Structure formats: C-alpha cells, structure tokens
Amino acid sequence: MAGKGGSLGKNLLSTFGILTMFQSALICTDFTDGLYRLVRFVPQLAESGLKKLVFLHVVPLGEGAVPRPDEEGIKVARDRLSAALENVPAGVEVKVEVKSGTPSVQIAEVLRSQKVDLVILGTPGRSLLSEKLFGSTMMNVCQRLTVPLMILRPNLISTYTNAELALRCQGLFRYLLVPYDDSEAARYTLERIKTQAQAGHPLEQCLLCRVVDEVSRNAQLRQYAEENARKVLAQRKQELEQVGISVRTEVRTGNPITELLELAVDVDISAIASASRNVGKLIELSVPSITGELLRKSWHPVIYFPIR
C-alpha cells in the first residue's frame, strides 16, 4: 500500500510540476546580510513555489531626546527595495515594507498584518554564550515566531554571482535534510512536512538522518542502537512516501552536529529542517539544542520549525 501511495504522489508531481512546502515568505534584510539582493530575483523565487513575497527593512529610530522615525532613512530603504516591484511574474504578489524601530518587534508586527508561511532572515554564525551576552536578532525572532524561520548565511549570499544566486533561489526547498532521533521535536518536524504535503505543497526529496551518539564503547550496544534507528527511519520513510515525497535514510555514529554538517556537504541538499521548543531560551545553556546549534553553525540554509 505504501508503495502505491508513494508512486501515485510521484506521478502527480511529474504531471503538475514540483510544488513546495511554502507559498509565501517575509524576507527581512538589514542591508548588510546580502538578502536585499533577492529583490532582483523575484521570478526565480516564484519558480521555487513562492506566490507571495514581502520584503522588509527596519530603520533604527533617529537619535535625539525623543527618538523619532528616520524619514530620510525610510525613503532610502524603500528606494533600495523597490526593484522587487519591477519584474513580477503573473500570479505573484510582491510587497515592500519599511518600518522604524526594533527589528524583532517590527518583524512580529508585519507578520500580524501579512499572512505568510515562512520568514527568511540572514544572520552570521555565533556562539551560544556570546548570543546570551550580546543578544541576537535571530534568537529574539525565534522566541516570537509561530511560523517557520529560514536562515541564510550572509557570507554566502553576498558572494554568490547573479547566476549562482538565481539557481539558489529556484531550488530553496528542493531537497531537505531532516535530523531524526524520534524525539518530540523530530516528530513535529515530520508532521509539519506531512501536513504541507497533504495540503498540496510537498517537497521534492527528503533525507532522514539518525546520528547515534558514540557514548558507549560496547560494540553490541552500538550495533543495537543503529539497527533500531534503521527500523524507525524505515517506518518514517514509509509515512512520507505515502504523501508523495521521495525519501532517503541514513544512520551515522558520532557527534550529531559534526555528522549532520558533514552529511550536508556530502549530499546535494537545499536546506536542513529541524524543530525545537528551546531555541533562544536560557535553558539552552544547560541543555543544548541540536536545532539551535545548527542555526548557529550550519553554512547550509536551515529551516527552523518553532514548537509552541
């Protein structure tokens, strides 16, 4: 039965084209992260499945005894983002929002007024400790979000040629690497993927990876853990194939973050997808989150599903 369901899903995809997990996105840029370049790639973003794009820049309040909106800064920012409105394909909606104030607060405000499936943000990698000491827009946003967040590294986006960036925009959600340890967060990630697929927005491919932590020197215990992981992944693969997603599985042994980042390089993935309850919270100092570490360390795009 599973095989028939997977085959039917693939036939539908090949007939009507690949649909993606997300159809609308809020793209936030501070003009130092490279994401402002995406205003010139609206047609390519539309090819990735996005039908609504909202570009947002937040201008700091002007200095003075009473902080006021920087009207000149707002005008300059709006002019820089206006290119997004010049080459819009039929059936695609594009908006430009320029706000004044604190980025995390204004992002939350725009999310309340603009219904989108995804927030796209550029942020440099940093350690958990420095983040707690000096703050992070990304983590402040994570604590407020109810929709998924996609992190793109400024170092990469800024250095892509136009041709490279066009290809990246076309395949944002083509192939996801999903860390899977059968935890609440891992199950939540798969449920979100399955829900989107059942709503008619599946992704093209998915790689489920279980990293067995090498904490025991007992070879038999490690072998048992690996065999159990393969059984669990086989079950999850069957569930995803029933909704039309092509799935690969892999079991590795070692440090989860190290192995996942190496696998992301070895396999031609588009992004890593993971969920968490604790990203951006103080509990992370004592109970590290794999999702949080991926958001901080991965050079590949990371899609974070917040559990609320």
pLDDT tens figures, 32-83:
889 999 999 999 999 988 999 999 999 988 666 667 888 899 999 999 999 9
What the block records as the tokens of 45 is: 């973003």
- 48: helix, strand or coil: coil
Q: What pairs with residue 93 in β-bridges? A: 52
Helix residue spans in 57-124 (DSSP H): 71-81, 103-113
Over pLDDT 90: what percentage of the chain?
51
Full strand arrangement of the beta sheet holding 205-212:
93-100, 52-59, 24-28, 118-122, 149-152, 302-306, 271-276, 175-179, 205-212, 246-253
Over pLDDT 70: what percentage of the chain?
80
Backbone angles phi, psi at 283, to 5 degrees: -60, -20
Q: Give the mean pLDDT of 175-195.
A: 92
- For the chain, which domains are there? 1-19+175-272 (3.40.50.620), 22-172 (3.40.50.620)
